[in-house]
């Protein structure tokens, strides 16, 4: 695949969705960031197979593991190991190959490289060398869990793994307790009981949450409950502590406004001299938690009781 791009864009006739490439980019080969299955091998996309089969080198977190994946579809790529302990030395070598016009596919053991996995440094170095970086999307446990969790998906935060040590974990959770967006966490099977107990203690046992375990595999489990219920369930059933786990936690109810404690009448007193009744009612409702219709009626009554109102 020397110096050549695999996927000319159907849309504009240029390469892989790029509308133009700089001179450095056209001399460079591509770095393909390839997602691999998180359990079910059928989730490896056709496009990922083609890239892995034709790249000049496949940079893999664990070459034996990826070698087995490649062997399932009869692919014999040159495998180069790239993990957190050799990244510093390996990244310049791989970038050198990209600059010489070769293509490199980056994979991790499972899911999307760089997401709680190695890859970030190579991606940055490829950009800095002026090479193109092309995602080949596919599985990621975080997004798979989120999609099936039944927790709000319009805004979410990915926190990766919580700290392993109890004190640091609780501190982190305290910092996250008022986060209003859905929270996605990776957790290991041997810490799941302690993590759920801490989550229930810090976020409150009533907080909605989903445990997604062994996604795409034989014992796939997706359970939506509250943190208190999940903690009790996992504590009571050792099978629920096996395998790989993602926690998806509903966000905190909106943090109380700094004006919490203000009454509706007090808010309207302050707002009506400045704003028309509908606007004052809307702001007062937001500040006090009152229903907007009630706030509007109170605003009208307030005004008619005030002879100075215009
Ligand atoms: N890069 C990967 C991705 O995109 O999903 C994540 C790698 S991270 C080292 C591994 C963690 O992802 C596991 O500890 C678990 O929390 C989660 N995970 C991976 N595969 C999973 C699966 N099949 N079901 C549930 N969680 C999974």
269-295 confidence digits (pLDDT tens)? 777 877 788 887 777 666 666 778 777
Whose C-alpha lies nearest to ligand 1, atom 19? Answer: 141
> From the CA of 186, how far away is ligand 1's center (Å)?
7
* Confidence (pTM): 0.79
Q: 162 CB less than 6 Å from ligand 1?
A: no
Q: 296 CB less than 6 Å from ligand 1?
A: no
Task: Using alpha carbons, select from 64, 77, 130 the residue that is nearest to residue 105.
Answer: 77
Q: 61 CB less than 6 Å from ligand 1?
A: no
Among 41-50, 237-246, 286-295, the minimum mean pLDDT is found in: 286-295
> From the CA of 112, how far away is ligand 1's center (Å)?
9
Whether pLDDT at 263 is above 50: yes
> For the chain, what percent of residues have pLDDT higher than 90?
72
- When pLDDT is cut at 50, 70 and 90, the band that residue 37 belongs to is very high
Fold of 140-254: 3.30.950
Instruction: Taking residues 185-190, report their average pLDDT.
Output: 97
Q: 116 CB less than 6 Å from ligand 1?
A: yes
Q: What is the overall mean pLDDT for the chain?
A: 87
Please, where are the H alpha helices in the chain?
23-27, 46-54, 63-72, 87-99, 120-128, 141-149, 166-176, 192-203, 227-236, 264-271, 277-288, 292-304
Cα separation, 217 vs 259, whole angstroms: 49
263 neighbors 294 (Cβ within 8 angstroms): no
> From the CA of 57, how far away is ligand 1's center (Å)?
24
Instruction: Taking residues 38-62, report their average pLDDT.
Output: 97
pLDDT at 269: 76
Instruction: Taking residues 22-46, report their average pLDDT.
Output: 89
Instruction: Taking residues 32-61, report their average pLDDT.
Output: 97
Whether pLDDT at 8 is above 90: no
Among 155-169, 231-245, 270-284, the minimum mean pLDDT is found in: 270-284
pLDDT at 21: 54
User: Left if phi > 0, otherwise alpha if psi is -120 to 50, otherwise beta: which for 243?
Assistant: left
Q: 45 CB less than 6 Å from ligand 1?
A: no
Give 129's contacts (C-beta < 8 A, 6+ positions apart).
24, 28, 95, 98, 99
Domain range list for the chain: 3-138, 140-254, 255-305
> From the CA of 6, how far away is ligand 1's center (Å)?
29
- When pLDDT is cut at 50, 70 and 90, the band that residue 208 belongs to is very high
More confident position, 45 or 14? 45
Cα separation, 31 vs 107, whole angstroms: 11
pLDDT at 12: 34
Instruction: Taking residues 73-99, report their average pLDDT.
Output: 96
Among 24-33, 42-51, 189-198, the minimum mean pLDDT is found in: 24-33
- Residue 41 is given by DSSP the state G
Cα separation, 174 vs 170, whole angstroms: 6
Burial profile 222-246: b = 16 or more Cβ within 10 angstroms, e = fewer: bebebbbbbbbebeeeeebbebbbb
Whether pLDDT at 18 is above 90: no
Whether pLDDT at 26 is above 80: no
Whether pLDDT at 112 is above 80: yes
**Top mutation candidate among 48, 60, 141 for ligand 1, by most atoms within 8 Å of CB:** 141
Domain 3-138: give its CATH code. Answer: 3.40.1010.10
pLDDT at 25: 58
Whether pLDDT at 254 is above 80: no
Fold agreement (3-138, 140-254): no
């Amino acid at each position: 695949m020397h110096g050549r791009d695999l996927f000319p864009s159907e849309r504009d006739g240029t390469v892989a969705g790029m509308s133009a490439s700089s001179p450095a980019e056209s001399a460079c080969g591509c770095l393909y960031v390839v997602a691999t299955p998180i359990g079910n091998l059928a989730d490896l996309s056709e496009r990922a197979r083609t890239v892995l089969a034709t790249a000049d080198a496949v940079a893999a977190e664990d070459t034996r593991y990826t070698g087995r994946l490649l062997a399932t579809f009869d692919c014999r790529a040159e495998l180069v190991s790239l993990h957190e302990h050799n990244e510093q030395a390996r990244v310049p070598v791989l970038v050198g190959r990209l600059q010489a016009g070769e293509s490199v596919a980056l994979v991790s053991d499972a899911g999307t490289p760089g997401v709680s996995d190695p890859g970030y440094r190579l991606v940055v170095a490829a950009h800095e060398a002026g090479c193109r970086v092309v995602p080949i999307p596919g599985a990621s446990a975080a997004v798979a869990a989120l999609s099936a969790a039944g927790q709000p998906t319009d805004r979410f935060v990915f926190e990766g793994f919580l700290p392993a040590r109890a004190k640091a974990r609780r501190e982190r959770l305290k910092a996250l307790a008022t986060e209003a967006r859905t929270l996605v966490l990776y957790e290991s099977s041997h810490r799941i009981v302690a993590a759920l107990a801490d989550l229930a203690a810090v976020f409150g046992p009533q907080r909605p949450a989903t445990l997604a375990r062994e996604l795409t595999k034989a014992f796939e489990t997706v359970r939506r409950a509250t943190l208190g219920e999940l903690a009790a369930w996992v504590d009571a059933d050792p099978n629920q502590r096996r395998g790989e786990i993602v926690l998806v936690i509903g966000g905190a109810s909106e943090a109380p406004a700094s004006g919490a404690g203000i009454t509706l009448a007090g808010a309207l007193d302050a707002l009506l001299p400045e704003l028309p009744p509908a606007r004052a009612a809307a702001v007062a409702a937001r500040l006090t938690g009152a229903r907007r219709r009630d706030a509007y009626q109170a605003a009208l009554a307030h005004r008619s009781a005030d002879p100075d109102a215009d």
